[in-house]
Structure 1
Amino acid sequence: MISGNLYPSVSTSCIFPPKRTSTPAHVHLPLLKISAKLRLISFESVSLSFPTFIASKSSVKSTRFSNSVAKVYSFEGQNPTSLSDLEDLSENGVVYKKTLAMVECSMFAALNGLVYFLSNSLALENYFGCFFCLPIVISSMRWGIAAGRKTMVATFLLLLVLSGPVKALTFLLRHGLVGLTMGSLWRLGANWSTSIFLCTIVRALGAVGYVLISSFLIRENILALITINIHASLTLIFTASGVNLIPSMSAIYAIFGTLVMLNCGCFMFLLHLLYSIFLTRLGLKTSLTLPRWLEKAM
C-alpha cells in the first residue's frame, strides 16, 4: 500500500482563480462625474451647431409658415434674416420691375444703336432720322427719367464701339439729348408749348455742336463759311433789287440763328405730333399731355 495521496499536492489557488473583490464606491464616483460632464458638453455643442425648432401639434399639421416666424440661417455666424426682409419676386415686386426696366432699356438701346449704325452705313439717315429719339422717349415715359438717361448712355457706348467717337457724338448731339429732353418733359407732364420750345433749343445747340465738331475734324471753320455765304447772298439780293445796303455781321448772325431756330422748331413740332400718335397707339395716352385740338382729332 502506498501511503499518502496518489497525486502531488496542488494548491487550490492554481485550480480556482481568486474571486475579484468589488471596487469601492469612492472610486466609481469620480468616473461617473467625468462621464456625465463629457456627455453634457457634447450635447451642448451639438445643440449650438444646429438651430432648435419647437413645433406644436397645430404647427405640425399646417405646412405654411408666416414670414415673421420663418428665418433663413446663413453660414459663418452671420445674423439670421427673416423672409419678410427678402425682396419680392412677384409681378408687382420691386425686383421684378427693376429687372424689367433694365431689360427694356438694354433692348431699346441695342435696337436704336443698330438702326442708327445701319442707316449711316447705307446712307438712310434722312429717312429714319425721326425715329432715333423714340426709344429714349418710350423708356422715359414707362420707367422714369433715369431709365431714359440709361438708354441714351447705353446707345452712345454701343455706337462708340461700333462706329467710333464721331458717330457716337453725332447721335448724342442730334438725337440723344433731344429724346431725353422730350421724354423728361412728357414724363413731368409739361404742355406742348414748353416742350417744343425747350426741345428746339436743345436741337439747335446740338446742331451747332455738330457743326463745330465737323469743323474741328476737317480743319475748316464751317460757321464762318456759312455766315460769309449768307452775307454774300444778301448783298447780291440787295444790289439786284436796287437797295444800296450792306448788312452787318451782327445782322448776319441774327439771321443765321433765327433760321436755325425756325428749322429746329418745325422739326420738333412734327416730331411731337408723330410721337403722340405713335404712343397713343401703344396705349400710353393716359401718360401724355396733349393739346385740345389733337385730343379732339384723335
Structure 2
Amino acid sequence: MGEEPARAIADASDPSPVQVNVAPAPLKLVETAFLSSTAGLLWLVSYYLSLVPWMRIVFPLPIALVYLRWGARAAWMSLLVTGLLLSVLMGPFLSILFIIPYGLLGVQLGFLWRRGAGWPVSISIGAVLATLGLFARVALTSAFVGEDLWVYLTRRIADLLEWLVTRLVDWGVLGVEALGQINLSAVQALTVGAFLLSDLVYVFTIHLAAWLLLGRLGNAIPEPPRWVRILLEEE
C-alpha cells in the first residue's frame, strides 16, 4: 500500500519530459546524416559530370537547411560529416574545395536566416565570405602546383589589357600616351572587385533558390525585398 502512492508520486513528477526530449534525437541524427550525404553527393556528381557551374547554387542549401531545422551544432556536425565523406570518396583536396566556400557559406547563411537577417545583410556577408573562400582555394591550389596562381592570373589579365590598349592605339581610338600605363596593382584591385561583384550575384541567386525551395519544406527564409517580389510576380 505504501509503495503505490510513492510510485504514483514518482510517475507524476517525471512523466513525459524525458520522452519529449529523447524522441526527436533519432530524427535529428537521421536528417543531419541525410542532408550531409545529399550535400556530398551533389558535389561528387556535379564534379565528375562537369556540372559545377550549373549546380553551385544548391551546394550550400543542405547544410543551411540543417541549421534552420536543428541549430548550430547540427550544422557544424553536418559540415564535418560531409567533409569526411568527400575525403573518402574524392580525396582531401576536393573535400576542402567543397568546404571552402560552399560548406562554410551554408553555415553562415543558415545562421543569418534563422535570426531573420534581411537579404541585404546576408547577401553582403555571404559575398565577402565567398570571395575570401575563392582566394583560399587559389592559395591552396597554388601550394599544390608550386606556383602563385594569383600573380599568374593577374599578369595574364594585365597582358590582355596591354594588348587591347595597343590595338586601340593602332586604330586611333587612344593616344600613344596610353601605352605602358597598365599597372599590376590596379589590375589586381579590379580583379578583386570583379570577383566580389560576381559573388554578390551568386549569393543573390542562392537566396532566390532558398526562398523558392526551403519554404516548401517548412523552413522559410526571410522575405526578399519588395522589388524582388514584384519582379517575380510580373514574370
> 1:97 and 2:24 equivalent?
yes
Provide Cα deviations, 1:124-177, integer angstroms capped at 9, x if missing partner. 323322211111111111112222222111101111122111011000113101
More helix by percentage: 2
1:58-77 paired onto structure 2 within 5 Å: 66=8, 68-70=9-11
Contact 1:136–1:151 (CA<8 Å) still a contact in 2? yes
Contact 1:145–1:187 (CA<8 Å) still a contact in 2? no
Q: Which amino acid aligns with 2:10?
A: V
Distance in 2 separating the partners of 1:225 and 1:217:
15
Aligned equivalent of 1:84: 14
Distance in 1 separating the partners of 2:35 and 2:199:
25
Higher relative contact order (CA 8 A, sep 6+): 2
Distance in 2 separating the partners of 1:174 and 1:159:
15
Distance in 2 separating the partners of 1:233 and 1:121:
31
Structure of larger gyration radius:
1
Q: Which amino acid aligns with 2:150?
A: L
Q: CA deviation at 1:288?
A: 2.5
Distance in 1 separating the partners of 2:135 and 2:10:
64
Aligned equivalent of 1:54: 2
Q: CA deviation at 1:85?
A: 8.1
Superposition RMSD on alpha carbons, in Å? 2.4
Q: CA deviation at 1:204?
A: 0.5
Contact 2:65–2:219 (CA<8 Å) still a contact in 1? no
After superposition, the Cα gap between the structure-2 partners of 1:216 and 1:273, relative to the gap in structure 1 and judged at 3 Å, is same
After superposition, the Cα gap between the structure-2 partners of 1:295 and 1:235, relative to the gap in structure 1 and judged at 3 Å, is closer
Contact 1:160–1:167 (CA<8 Å) still a contact in 2? yes
Aligned equivalent of 1:131: 58
> 1:185 and 2:112 equivalent?
yes
In structure 2, stretches of 5+ residues that fail to align are 169-173
Deviating more after overlay: 248-257 vs 124-133: 124-133
> 1:164 and 2:98 equivalent?
no
Aligned equivalent of 1:288: 222
Q: CA deviation at 1:222?
A: 1.1
After superposition, the Cα gap between the structure-2 partners of 1:294 and 1:249, relative to the gap in structure 1 and judged at 3 Å, is closer
Contact 1:149–1:180 (CA<8 Å) still a contact in 2? yes
Contact 2:119–2:222 (CA<8 Å) still a contact in 1? no
Out of 75, 87, 109, the residue aligned to residue 148 of structure 1 is 75
Aligned equivalent of 2:171: none
Q: Which amino acid aligns with 2:61?
A: L
Q: CA deviation at 1:234?
A: 1.9
Distance in 2 separating the partners of 1:174 and 1:284:
23
Aligned equivalent of 2:38: 111
Contact 2:63–2:79 (CA<8 Å) still a contact in 1? yes
Q: Which amino acid aligns with 1:54?
A: G
Contact 1:190–1:289 (CA<8 Å) still a contact in 2? no
Aligned equivalent of 1:204: 131
Distance in 2 separating the partners of 1:115 and 1:273:
19
Contact 2:57–2:205 (CA<8 Å) still a contact in 1? no
Distance in 2 separating the partners of 1:137 and 1:55:
51
> 1:239 and 2:166 equivalent?
yes
TM (normalized to structure 2)? 0.85
Deviating more after overlay: 159-168 vs 94-103: 94-103
Distance in 1 separating the partners of 2:92 and 2:70:
28
Distance in 1 separating the partners of 2:41 and 2:206:
21
1:229-268 paired onto structure 2 within 5 Å: 229-241=156-168, 242-243=174-175, 244-245=177-178, 246-268=181-203
For these two proteins, the number of residue pairs brought into alignment is 224
In structure 1, stretches of 5+ residues that fail to align are 1-52, 60-64, 71-81
Contact 1:137–1:179 (CA<8 Å) still a contact in 2? yes
Contact 1:173–1:209 (CA<8 Å) still a contact in 2? yes
Out of 122, 141, 159, the residue aligned to residue 214 of structure 1 is 141
| Identity level (%) | 27
